Amino acid sequence: MGGSLIPGIQQAIMNTLQYMLFYLIFSLPLTLSYRTTKVINFAHANFITYGAYVAIFLHGIMGLNIMSVAAILAFLITGAIAVLNNVLVFTPLQKRGSSPAIIMISSMGLWIAYKYLLYMTTDIAHYYTIKNFVSYGRITYSDVPRGSVGGVELSQAFVASLITASLVVVLLYLLLEKTKIGRAMRAVADNPSLAEISGIPKSFVVNLTWFICGGIAGIGGVIWTSFSGAITPEAGDSMILQVFTVGFIGGLVSLLRTGIGAVLIAAIENVGIAILNTYFGVPVSFRPFLTFVTLITTLIVSPPLGAGGGLPYRFLKRGSRR
């Protein structure tokens, strides 16, 4: 086993695929929510974490390890949180005409509040059950099969994320292209005022979008509990920069480019670091360095235009050349 060029390449490729699936599940909803609402939502990290903790509390307190149940519950809960955020915070701010920066900062406040609310919940749960929920081990589910393809073992996480990611991609495509409500979502995304005038119930559509996006991320969190060895209330946070990077590659508007971004980042993080480590002796602890470099490079080389990014300066040269 193992390639000749890079030892362990097979494992690296498996990890790349696994991470690609996770990034798809986490980032597609981010892109969709931004595209429709123009809100850069820091609290997206909480959707992932809360989804994971729904599964954890089900497992730790009630001894339940059925993924389908956890997934449905997580979908409902995180979706509801997303809608709550919108109704209570984002919409009032937008009505008042606050700048996107202010709304982003408010989402940062929400992110902090939700995170520590979860910490408090783990403390309370600890008090009653003595179990430690601040750092929880991997959950083995009873309703997810392990697979085997051509001699390669597929873990539970892989099977579950493969099924989920495929479903998400297919269903989102069908929703946005074929259904009336999906077209309404696209209309609101492209031109909110026109959409409203032509009779589309904008606030309903926006809330529905938030519900779906939050829910999908929550399901991703549930699957994460079968992959990671230790989940903490900061689980979503440590991944949020990668998730945003993938979104930025998609310009935060194009779902297809987001998918490409997912593959790219997953590859850099797994195969890229393996190559750098084998041939250039770069320590493995430099892995997050690569992600950040990619983030900055993406932002600089191709900043998402839809956010008013970089427009004035693309054409501004010294001595102004028109």
Vertex 173, ends 198 and 271: CA angle to 5°? 135
| Residue closest to 200 by CA, chosen among 209, 214, 83 | 209
Nearest-approach distance from CB 120 to other proteins, in angstroms: 5
Is residue 152 helix, strand or coil? strand
CB burial of 104-136 (b: ≥16 within 10 Å; e: otherwise) equals eebbeebbeebbeebeeebeebeeeeeeebeeb
The conformation of residue 78, written as its DSSP 8-state character, comes to: H
279 binds other proteins (CB under 8 A): no
Given candidates 35, 44, 115, 257, which one binds other proteins under the rule CB under 8 A? 115
C-beta of 183 vs 287, nearer to other proteins: 287
Strand stretches in 170-319, DSSP E: 230-231
292 binds other proteins (CB under 8 A): yes
223 binds other proteins (CB under 8 A): no
64 binds other proteins (CB under 8 A): no
The whole-angstrom separation of Cα 54 and Cα 66 is: 12
* Residues 151, 157, 160, 164, CA torsion sign: negative
C-beta of 112 vs 260, nearer to other proteins: 112
Given candidates 53, 57, 75, 136, which one binds other proteins under the rule CB under 8 A? 136
Residues in 172-191 that interact with other proteins by CB under 8 A: none
300 binds other proteins (CB under 8 A): yes
Given candidates 31, 164, 209, 232, which one binds other proteins under the rule CB under 8 A? 232
Vertex 288, ends 285 and 294: CA angle to 5°? 140
257 binds other proteins (CB under 8 A): no
147 binds other proteins (CB under 8 A): no
Given candidates 21, 58, 216, 239, which one binds other proteins under the rule CB under 8 A? 239
The whole-angstrom separation of Cα 190 and Cα 151 is: 47
Given candidates 61, 120, 194, 260, which one binds other proteins under the rule CB under 8 A? 120
Residues in 14-43 that interact with other proteins by CB under 8 A: 15, 18-19, 40
113 binds other proteins (CB under 8 A): yes
304 binds other proteins (CB under 8 A): yes
List the beta bridge partners of residue 50.
none
134 binds other proteins (CB under 8 A): yes
How many residues interact with other proteins (rule CB under 8 A)? 92
Distance, CA of 272 to chain centre: 21
C-beta of 78 vs 94, nearer to other proteins: 94
C-beta of 124 vs 171, nearer to other proteins: 124
Question: Which region, judged by CB under 8 A, interacts with other proteins, from 25-33, 172-180, 186-194, 222-230?
Answer: 222-230
Given candidates 61, 68, 135, 181, which one binds other proteins under the rule CB under 8 A? 135
Determine how many CB atoms are found less than 10 A away from the CB of residue 202. 16
Q: By the 8 A CB rule, do 208 and 183 touch?
A: no
